[in-house]
Chains A and B, each alone.
Chain A
């Protein structure tokens, strides 16, 4: 069974830079997994931030960027703001057909 790993919690200072990662329990994440990232605040549906590794969704500030770092997908937030405090989920496309696996999410604290 495929497991996607994320840091459970990360903190960053206002104005700072933080990188969240998304890994696979076995193997490396590549662009072929089409990593995408979603931001979720309490009580709200997820919001699409990044897709296909590094493409920002419409309206997403360029403070958010995606990449592959080593064997993981990464979401980097530069100039962190209080409003960035959210849960962040990555999801990987892993199937030969259609098969998605979400990571467990990272709770980002800005303090």
Chain B
């Protein structure tokens, strides 16, 4: 069974860098899928942050592009998110998810999500 598990600090101070990792189990991250991040502020809707393929192909939400970096560690079968200059507005549940390529454009697998709070 394929599972995605997000881990992170839970609390980040404003202006600091937000870092999260998504561990993938039951499936190779080197397969032909994109691995992505989506967030959801409390009581609000979903927002795509970015997606990355193990080949290195990476796409970011244009509104976040200047502050986002994603990376993949195939040896650990996990991928990561870094978002610099965090603000309180970025307090959200962060999900990792998988989506297909070449016509299979949809998120078929979601992790459980983790709440990350930006506060001093």
Binding site for B on A (CB under 8 A): 1, 34, 36, 38, 45-48, 51-52, 57, 89, 91, 93, 95, 97-105
Contacts and interface: CB of A to CB of B under 8 A. Distances in A.
Interface residues of B, number: 25
B55 to A, nearest CB: 12
A91 B48 contact: yes
Interface stretch (B13-21, B72-80, B105-113): B105-113
A57 B107 CA distance: 10
Q: Which residue among A36, A45, A47, A48 has the maximum number of chain B CB atoms within 10 Å of its CB?
A: A45
B45 A99 contact: no
User: Chain A contact residues: over half helix, strand or loop, or mixed?
Assistant: loop
A99 B47 CA distance: 11
B46 interface: yes
A26 to B, nearest CB: 16
A93 B57 CA distance: 17
Interface string B53-94: 000010101110000000000000000000000000000000
Nearest to A100: B48
Nearest to B63: A1
A99 B61 CA distance: 7
Given A45-B95, A45-B112, A102 B48 contact: yes
A52 B51 CA distance: 19
Nearest to A92: B105
Closest 4 CB pairs of A and B: A51-B106, A98-B59, A34-B105, A36-B106
B5 to A, nearest CB: 11
B105 to A, nearest CB: 4
Nearest to A57: B108
